[in-house]
Amino acid sequence: MPSELAAEAVKRSRDQSATPFLEPWPLQIQPAVPTRFLLCRDDRLFPAEFMRRVVEQRLGIAPDEIDGGHTIALSRPKELADRLEAYQAERNSPR
């Protein structure tokens, strides 16, 4: 992403909640809801090979994939929005 955009993102960043690392998951099983995982192929924080394995083991699905890194909403907002809209359209289509 352009360095100006990265600098602006850092300027506006804030701490994330530590709750996921401190508290156990409260449910015994995943809710029965449609689930998708969009894997960013160039993510250096959560590498693609690792995430493919985690998604398969924990969710029992193969992830969908998109080019881009960890901050996909900043670096490729149109591609991300297009993919999310396609998921919604697919979900709303008659079966």
Q: What is the pLDDT of residue 25?
A: 82
Classify residue 51 by its DSSP letter. Answer: H
Q: Look up residue 24 and give its amino acid.
A: P
Q: Is the pLDDT of residue 2 over 90?
A: no
Q: How many CB atoms lie within 10 A of CB 33?
A: 5
How does pLDDT run across 47-94, given as a tens digit for each residue?
999 999 999 998 999 999 999 999 999 999 999 999 999 999 998 988
How does pLDDT run across 12-53, given as a tens digit for each residue?
988 888 888 898 888 888 788 889 999 999 999 999 999 999
Q: Taking the complete model, does pTM exceed 0.85, yes or no? A: no
